[in-house]
Amino acid sequence: MGARRVTVLVSGRGSNLAALADAAGQRDFAGTITHVVSNRPAARALDIARARGVPTTVVDHTWFATREAFDAELARAVEQAEPALVVLAGFMRVLTDAFVRRFDGRLINVHPSLLPAYPGLHTHRRALADGVKVHGCTVHFVTPEVDVGPIIAQAAVPVLPDDDEGALAARVLRQEHRLLPAAVHWYCAGRLTLHAGRVRVHDAPVAEGALLCPAPDPMWTA
Ligand code: GRF
């Protein structure tokens, strides 16, 4: 089987797109990025795609009077590249139910928190305000309700005493750049199954142990 076609939807910086494209360039990666679609004409992610020779389309949401009209055109643009998988990588528009249903089961998102904690925006600021010690990111299937779809994979990071929003965001983002390519590879390799709202990743190594933050003094961990 050849590499499966992946369309990536973006709105801004594009660091997740770059991480995914780097991974997809490696031998044995099961997906290939065949199309990048942005709702913002000035998104830096578009330059990242172009620099790698990936075809791009802009569907600017400001051209449309309604969310439904925008999503209909977006869906048309996405369908053109016949993707096996559609990835939201920093795509900052809430999608209509109609769009989500159309791509049901082949639409995934990377979100900068350990869902179901902190759906929505400003996740790092909210985590700091709550004083949590562990934060992270999630890759999940997209369902009509925002940030609640079945979880494929998560990565946890410690929240350190001197963290500000930028420091914490950067620590989480490094994990997004590992987690998203892994999830895309698993999907494209046919290694994900969904049953009763739980995603199983087949043949994935089991992570042993736990992240404890702050780390206990050595006398308890010997
Ligand atoms: C990421 O933190 C992603 O989780 C969130 O928006 C950010 C996009 O960053 N949805 P980038 O455009 O991939 O650099």
- Does residue 222 surpass a pLDDT of 60? no
CA distance 113 to 198: 18
pLDDT in tens, 39-82: 999 999 999 999 999 999 999 999 999 999 999 999 999 999 99
CA of 131 to the centre of ligand 1 (A): 22
Q: Look at residue 143 in the predicted model and tell me its pLDDT.
A: 97
Q: Look at residue 181 in the predicted model and tell me its pLDDT.
A: 98
pLDDT in tens, 152-168: 999 999 999 999 999 99
CA of 138 to the centre of ligand 1 (A): 12
What residues contact residue 166 under an 8 Å CB cut-off, 6+ apart?
Answer: none
pLDDT in tens, 108-136: 999 999 999 999 999 999 999 999 999 99
CA distance 47 to 197: 37
CA of 1 to the centre of ligand 1 (A): 30
Closest protein CA for atom 14 of ligand 1: 15
CA of 112 to the centre of ligand 1 (A): 7
- Does residue 4 surpass a pLDDT of 70? yes
Q: Which of 52-66, 182-196, 205-219 has the lowest mean pLDDT?
A: 205-219
- Nearest ligand 1 atom to the CA of 169 is 2
The residues that are catalytic are 111
Are 56 and 17 spatial neighbours (Cβ–Cβ below 8 Å)?
no
What residues contact residue 21 under an 8 Å CB cut-off, 6+ apart?
Answer: 33, 48, 49, 52, 54
Mutate to test the pocket of ligand 1, among 40, 126, 173, 177 (most ligand atoms within 8 A of CB): 173
pLDDT in tens, 89-100: 999 999 999 999
Write out the two tokens for 59: 């569907």
- Nearest ligand 1 atom to the CA of 45 is 12
CA distance 163 to 8: 31
Q: Look at residue 50 in the predicted model and tell me its pLDDT.
A: 98
- Nearest ligand 1 atom to the CA of 91 is 10
Question: What lines the ligand 1 site, CB under 6 Å?
Answer: 12-16, 45, 89-90, 110-112, 173, 176
- Does residue 1 surpass a pLDDT of 70? no
Q: Look at residue 219 in the predicted model and tell me its pLDDT.
A: 77
* pLDDT confidence band for 210 (50 / 70 / 90): confident
